[in-house]
Amino acid sequence: MTDRYTQAVNSGFTKTLATRLGLPRPALLRRYRAGDPLTVGPVLVLSDGASKADADELAQVLLGWDVDVRREPSGDHRWGAVLLVLTEAAQPTDVAEPVLAAGSVLRRLAGNGRVVTVSRAAADGDSPALAATRNGVDGFLRSVAKELRAGATGNGVVLNDGVAVSHPSALATLRFFLSAKSAYVDGQLLPVGGADTAVVDGPGSWERPLAGKVAVVTGAARGIGAAIAKTLARDGATVVCVDVPAAGEGLAATANAIGGTALQLDVTAPDAGQRILDHARTRHGGLDVVVHNAGILRDKLLANMKPAQWEAVVAVNLAAQLRINETLLAAGLDGLHIVSLASTSGIAGNKGQSNYAFSKAGVIGHTRATAALLAPQGGTANAVAPGFIETDMTSSIPFATREVARRLPTLAQGGQPIDVAEAIAFLASPSATGVNGQVLRVCGQHMVGR
């Protein structure tokens, strides 16, 4: 679905009129296209004194990615990104110089620019000052992200203790946040652990990181599910597209468009997990990625909700995922990456969606628990929590409510299905194996939840 207002205020006479009248003018977001530069201009790398060695190392990595790197906030540049490396900051006073230097150039941050922090997670045993400094970076980043304009975003890479800035998953996360693939990801801090199985970001791994992999996407006939299937295929995966028999025509169209296969299946069936596994093994020789996208809505105030409305939502959105995961875990698949669709409603709740919010919060819960079960075999379980995404489902929302939902995020617009798909493709990639048990919000920094 098209956000006609955003399109209108960014073109022709309407753009001029909107500017003169002081109307909100959401930016046209830059989204990924193969061959485009990683950033829209030079990257300024800043750090506190103790983190200088890490900043130097990341600067060299960026140079290897064909990025123009600068270390001083001088010159009349339109900055493509500001990278703040604060990995060794130990006292609140340590961060003042680099963050104020970043502030001095924000007015020259290009449209669709990026601010990215690289810091460390607070840990048990940290001194009060160290814990305060590390948590302080989180609050700083989320606030700065709300101040950015013209489609620029702010996100943070949060390293667990012992994880080097050069760890493949740290670099993959940094690259994702700097790139146009993260267009609708804003104000997010993604923890990175130290999985030994993460794949080094080598030649070709950015363009086709899933080459040779077999992926399953449920609810793939249309909307977000179809976008996920197409994006995984773009990144090199062979995709099994799953949906209910009633969606067979759309399912076949999606599968045919990407050279995948279609499996007509109700995910609530007791044997759904085994049928998925058997299809992937028989037709494609294995299974590497599972995306739990299938979901339904049955919105009602709790006082008006019928048992069937509660039970249907929980059965499709949550119980089916649990049952399928049990089968996959029992199969002992090495390196399996599971990505589940949660929702901002599962984080912050939403009026009239107590059933949906229960199911999506449950997805977050089982993702964190499943992550520990997959890790010994080099696998991961993560979740993506979309906010307002432009789909057929959101197009049915009454006009006034729909417009409010679009304008509340910091980016002042709804996301596109491709934005959710890009986040899922990143989490499914081998280089992201150090990201495990996490929830990545794709919501344009909507003012709900965390």
The dihedral formed by the CA atoms of 253, 256, 261 and 267, expressed in degrees to the nearest 10: -20
pLDDT (0 to 100) of residue 194? 78
Is residue 79 within 8 Å of residue 39, measured between CB atoms?
no
What is the domain partition of the chain in residue ranges? 26-192, 214-442
Model confidence at 29, pLDDT cuts 50, 70, 90, reads very high
Q: Residue 333 — φ and ψ, nearest 5°?
A: -75, 130
Of the listed ranges 93-107, 243-257, 308-322, 405-419, the least confidently predicted one is 405-419
Place of tokens 């679009």: 406
Alpha-carbon distances, residue 84 vs 40, 47, 124, 137, 374 (angstroms)? 17, 6, 24, 10, 32
Rounded mean pLDDT, 431-443: 96
Run of H or E residues at 263? strand 261-264
Statement: residue 202 has pLDDT above 70 = no
Above pLDDT 90, what percent of the chain?
82
Rounded mean pLDDT, 341-368: 94
User: For residue 58, which of 134, 161, 171 has the smallest C-alpha distance?
Assistant: 171
5 annotated active-site: no
Rounded mean pLDDT, 4-15: 65
In one-letter notation, the amino acid at residue 450 is R
The CATH number, out of the four listed (3.40.50.620, 3.40.50.720, 3.30.70.660, 3.40.1170.10), of the domain defined by the range 214-442: 3.40.50.720
Listing DSSP states for 300-369 in one string gives --GGG--HHHHHHHHIIIIIHHHHHHHHHHHTT-TT-EEEEE--THHHH--TT-HHHHHHHHHHHHHHHH
pLDDT in tens, 65-75: 999 999 999 88
26-192 against 214-442: fold identical: yes
Distance from CA of residue 213 to its chain's centroid?
Answer: 20
Listing DSSP states for 99-150 in one string gives HHHHHTTGGGEEEEEEEEEEEE---TT--HHHHHHHHHHHHHHHHHHHH--T
pLDDT (0 to 100) of residue 406? 76
Q: Residue 138 — φ and ψ, nearest 5°?
A: -60, -50
- Per-residue buried b or exposed e for 150-164, using 16+ beta carbons within 10 Å of the residue's own CB: ebbbbbbbbbeeebe
Task: Spell out the CATH class of 26-192.
Answer: alpha beta
Model confidence at 108, pLDDT cuts 50, 70, 90, reads very high
Above pLDDT 70, what percent of the chain?
89
pLDDT (0 to 100) of residue 396? 64
Alpha-carbon distances, residue 448 vs 93, 285, 344 (angstroms)? 30, 42, 7
User: For residue 213, which of 272, 260, 271 has the smallest C-alpha distance?
Assistant: 260
Six-digit token string for 50: 């103790």
Distance from CA of residue 398 to its chain's centroid?
Answer: 27
Statement: residue 323 has pLDDT above 50 = yes
pLDDT (0 to 100) of residue 142? 96
Model confidence at 18, pLDDT cuts 50, 70, 90, reads low
Model confidence at 2, pLDDT cuts 50, 70, 90, reads low
pLDDT (0 to 100) of residue 390? 87
Active-site option among 5, 32, 184, 356 = 356
Of the listed ranges 12-26, 42-56, 190-204, 436-450, the least confidently predicted one is 12-26
Model confidence at 449, pLDDT cuts 50, 70, 90, reads very low
Alpha-carbon distances, residue 169 vs 38, 192, 249, 310, 446 (angstroms)? 17, 7, 38, 39, 26
pLDDT (0 to 100) of residue 384? 98
Place of tokens 């249309």: 222
Question: Between these two residues, 274 and 196, which has the higher pLDDT value?
Answer: 274
* Strand order through the sheet with 69-70: 69-70, 43-47, 79-85, 109-120, 153-159, 188-192
d(CA 241, CA 243): 7
User: For residue 267, which of 218, 234, 223 has the smallest C-alpha distance?
Assistant: 218
pLDDT (0 to 100) of residue 203? 45
Cβ count near 256 (within 10 Å): 12
Six-digit token string for 335: 């390196």
Model confidence at 397, pLDDT cuts 50, 70, 90, reads low
pLDDT in tens, 32-59: 999 999 999 999 999 999 999 999 999 9
